[in-house]
């Protein structure tokens, strides 16, 4: 029997390695931007076409490379960052494995121009699928320009798995945010299809955050700072009243590297406990400086996960710092038990001087004089009327209790009643039906919204005063993707730059809820991908039903309960909510009887 194990060809090995590092265009953006930062660039330009599917180009003014170095940079495991294994525990740069450029070159057409300050001419290198097709001198400014074209051109299956341009662009913006926030001392420019999305000059951290997320962000930030032997913690948390439904503004940086840490996120959430409502998430921009020897960043190919040596100490330190920051700026609620609120001067009378009251006396008033002889009889009747309400059926006393108790007092009990302001219980011939009111209403609304979107029979009510909303860059992209479906549902709105003006809403949408609904829809769309739903309309229907469904804790009268049950069983799907959660359970008669024995 012949031998069957053989070494993989280099080009195949490179493509497999690329699958670990390069998952989508955003992965290329991350690697190229980090390389530019490692090259000590002070000005970086990112150019994108067709959400990175056509071209991704990063231009920097860093130190550049020699003709030999630029050739070596595209070889696997070629790096200037580490010489021995122990170097992995004292890293201060972004890239160090020597995998990124080799992986990119294996699955795209790459063109590089680079020049050092001491060189008269630049070097031009072109690679296609790991093969060098051209190397020559060229004219270029100091620094490096790398253009990645036709990503995944030779891996058709991977290219077919890419999402729409809007989805891929959102991922690119996410990566851009992470790099730009980690390095406020570097100037960034981001162009998409010739349009400038971001122009970020060198600035302080707070200014960089405001430049990325909009001018109104400044008033939302609370500074956080703590310095110990374990770590230096600084940054900002977002005030509780500005908490959002999505996790968009949550950033951890360790030694200027963006990381994802459920452990530290739990710490921030714990510090905000009691300050934000359920279903909302705190925003934060937290920067940690620790000794590189106390962390391991080599546990994930994308280097976004870190192992800390002193996790418990760091948790306690961060939680204390956030709580202290919230307390210092009087964000946390306080109670003064020694203050008598009845003694407070009303706001409207603070600037007014006291006025001496006037007293008027009627000298002819006689309390014993009876002007109407029949008044005694009428007065006695009026006094008796005060006690008339007490002459009632004793069984009716205490009837104003919970809805469940009211139903039990009704001789002819209805078919439904509410339990714990969460469930609707309906009695059938052989079993009890227990329905989750929130999930049932989600299903009803979801199918109704889908029908409205598909039928294009919108019903719009004009607003007396237009409602303006200022959108972030990422929200603009999300809105443009969902605009057609929103208009089919009954919304009328216009977008001018980053200002969205709402002039009409569907009839089911009250004017006071418009802003909450639009922001909730955009937040839901930002967090989901095309893989989560069948279409944009499907995602929109899901987000709307989640926002507008009857919440747990809402008391419903008998008529509302009956309508909800009838509407549920008029749906095409009755067992599961739009988010695949069980809507109701049944208790069989024999099961109840068995428990009663």
Segment 5-27 shows an average pLDDT of 75
pLDDT value for 431: 80
247-256, 304-313, 492-501, 560-569: lowest mean pLDDT where? 304-313
Asked if 276 and 237 touch (Cβ cutoff 8 Å), the reply is no
Asked if 148 and 104 touch (Cβ cutoff 8 Å), the reply is yes
Residue 297 or 86, more confident: 297
- The confidence band for 539, taking pLDDT boundaries of 50, 70 and 90, is confident
Q: Token pair of 562, please?
A: 């009956």
pLDDT value for 349: 59
pTM of the model: 0.71
User: What CA–CA distance (Å, rounded) separates 372 from 109?
Assistant: 108
Q: Token pair of 202, please?
A: 């060198």
pLDDT value for 424: 94
3-state secondary structure of 146: strand
Distances (CA, A) of 563 to 59, 416, 421, 544, 575: 62, 10, 16, 20, 17
Q: Is the pLDDT of residue 316 over 60?
A: yes
- Write the CATH number of the domain with boundaries 403-597: 3.30.1370.100
pLDDT value for 391: 45
Cβ-proximal residues to 563 (8 Å cutoff; 6+ apart), any chain: none
Q: 270-299 pLDDT, tens per residue? A: 999 888 888 788 999 999 999 888 887 765
User: What CA–CA distance (Å, rounded) separates 91 from 89?
Assistant: 6
User: What CA–CA distance (Å, rounded) separates 31 from 101?
Assistant: 8
Q: Is the pLDDT of residue 459 over 90?
A: no
Instruction: Give the closest residue to 188 by CA, choosing from 196, 141, 180.
Output: 180
Q: Token pair of 89, please?
A: 């525990």
Mean residue pLDDT of the chain comes to 82
Residue 89 or 198, more confident: 198
Segment 552-576 shows an average pLDDT of 92
Domain ranges of the chain: 10-202, 206-328, 403-597
Q: Token pair of 19, please?
A: 């699958």
The per-type count for the chain, helices as H runs and strands as E runs, is 17, 22
3-state secondary structure of 258: strand
pLDDT value for 175: 94
CATH classification (class only), 10-202: alpha beta
Segment 504-521 shows an average pLDDT of 84
Burial 127-145 (b: 16+ CB within 10 A, else e): bbbbeeeeeeeeebebbbb
Q: Is the pLDDT of residue 439 over 90?
A: yes
pLDDT value for 404: 40
- The confidence band for 92, taking pLDDT boundaries of 50, 70 and 90, is low
pLDDT value for 155: 86
Count Cβ atoms below 10 Å from residue 114 Cβ, excluding itself: 27
Distances (CA, A) of 395 to 389, 390, 399, 402, 412: 14, 12, 8, 16, 16
Percent pLDDT > 90 in the chain is: 43
Q: Is the pLDDT of residue 333 over 90?
A: no
Backbone angles phi, psi at 13, to 5 degrees: -60, -40
Count Cβ atoms below 10 Å from residue 208 Cβ, excluding itself: 22
pLDDT value for 413: 43
End-to-end CA distance of the chain: give it in Å, rounded.
Answer: 71
User: What CA–CA distance (Å, rounded) separates 471 from 393?
Assistant: 61
Q: Is the pLDDT of residue 246 over 80?
A: no
Residue 580 falls in which region: left (phi positive, over 0), alpha (psi -120 to 50) or beta: left
3-state secondary structure of 545: helix
Asked if 150 and 108 touch (Cβ cutoff 8 Å), the reply is yes
- The confidence band for 334, taking pLDDT boundaries of 50, 70 and 90, is very low
Q: Can 10-202 and 403-597 be said to share one CATH topology?
A: no
104-118, 223-237, 466-480, 560-574: lowest mean pLDDT where? 466-480
- The confidence band for 407, taking pLDDT boundaries of 50, 70 and 90, is very low
Q: Is the pLDDT of residue 224 over 90?
A: yes
Asked if 102 and 17 touch (Cβ cutoff 8 Å), the reply is yes
CATH topology of domain 206-328: Ribosomal Protein S5; domain 2 (3.30.230)
Helices (H), 183-228: 205-213
Count Cβ atoms below 10 Å from residue 507 Cβ, excluding itself: 10
- The confidence band for 351, taking pLDDT boundaries of 50, 70 and 90, is low
50-54, 202-206, 589-593: lowest mean pLDDT where? 589-593
Percent pLDDT > 70 in the chain is: 78
Segment 402-406 shows an average pLDDT of 42
């Amino acid at each position: 029997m012949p031998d069957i194990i053989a070494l993989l060809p280099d080009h195949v090995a490179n493509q497999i390695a690329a699958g670990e590092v390069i998952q989508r265009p955003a992965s290329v953006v991350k690697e190229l931007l980090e390389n530019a930062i490692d090259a000590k660039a002070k000005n970086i330009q990112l150019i994108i076409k067709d959400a990175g599917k056509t071209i991704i180009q990063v231009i920097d003014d860093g130190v550049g490379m020699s003709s030999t170095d630029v050739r070596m940079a595209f070889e696997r495991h070629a790096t200037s960052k580490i010489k021995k294994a122990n170097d992995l525990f004292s890293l201060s740069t972004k890239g160090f494995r020597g995998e990124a450029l080799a992986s990119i070159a294996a699955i795209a057409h790459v063109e590089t121009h680079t020049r050092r300050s001491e060189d008269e001419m630049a070097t031009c290198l072109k690679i296609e699928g790991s093969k060098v097709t051209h190397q020559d001198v060229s004219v270029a400014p100091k620094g490096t320009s790398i253009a990645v074209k036709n990503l995944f051109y030779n891996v058709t299956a991977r290219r077919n798995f890419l999402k729409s341009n809007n989805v891929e662009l959102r991922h690119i913006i996410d990566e851009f945010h992470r790099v730009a926030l980690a390095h406020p001392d570097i100037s960034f420019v981001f162009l998409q299809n010739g349009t400038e999305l971001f122009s970020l000059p060198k600035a302080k951290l707070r200014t960089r955050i405001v430049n990325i997320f909009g001018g109104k962000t400044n008033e939302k930030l609370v500074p956080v700072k703590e310095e110990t032997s374990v770590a230096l913690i600084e940054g900002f948390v977002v005030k509780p009243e500005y908490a959002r439904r999505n996790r968009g503004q949550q950033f951890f940086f360790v030694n200027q590297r963006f990381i994802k840490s459920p452990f530290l996120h739990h710490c921030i959430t714990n510090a905000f406990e009691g300050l934000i409502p359920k279903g909302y998430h705190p925003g934060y921009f937290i920067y940690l400086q620790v000794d590189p020897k106390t962390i391991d960043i080599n546990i994930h190919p994308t280097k976004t996960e870190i192992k800390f040596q002193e996790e418990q100490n760091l948790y306690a330190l961060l939680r204390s710092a956030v709580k202290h920051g919230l307390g210092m700026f009087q964000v946390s609620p306080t109670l003064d038990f020694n203050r008598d609120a009845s003694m407070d001067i009303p706001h409207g009378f603070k600037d007014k001087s006291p006025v001496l009251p006037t007293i008027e006396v009627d000298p002819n008033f006689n309390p014993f004089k009876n002007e109407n002889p029949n008044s005694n009889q009428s007065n006695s009747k009026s006094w008796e009327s005060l006690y008339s309400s007490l002459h009632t059926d004793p069984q009716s006393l205490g009837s104003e209790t919970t809805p469940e108790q009211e139903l039990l007092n009704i001789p002819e009990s209805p078919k439904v009643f509410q339990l714990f302001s969460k469930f609707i219980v309906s009695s059938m011939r052989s079993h009890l039906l227990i329905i989750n009111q929130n999930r049932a209403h989600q299903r009803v609304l979801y199918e109704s919204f889908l029908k409205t979107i598909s039928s294009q029979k919108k019903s719009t009510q004009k607003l007396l005063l237009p409602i303006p909303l200022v959108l972030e860059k990422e929200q603009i992209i999300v809105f443009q993707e969902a605009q057609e479906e929103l208009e089919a549902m009954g919304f009328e709105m216009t977008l001018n730059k980053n200002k969205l003006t709402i002039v009409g809403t569907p009839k089911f949408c009250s004017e006071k809820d418009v802003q909450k609904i639009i922001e909730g829809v955009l937040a839901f769309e930002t967090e989901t991908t095309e893989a989560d739903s069948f279409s944009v309309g499907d995602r929109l229907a899901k987000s709307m039903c989640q926002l507008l469904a009857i919440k747990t804790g809402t008391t419903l009268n008998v008529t509302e309960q009956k309508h909800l049950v009838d509407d549920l069983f008029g749906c095409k799907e009755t067992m599961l909510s739009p988010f695949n959660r069980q809507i109701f359970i049944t208790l069989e008669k024999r099961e109840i009887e068995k428990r009663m024995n």
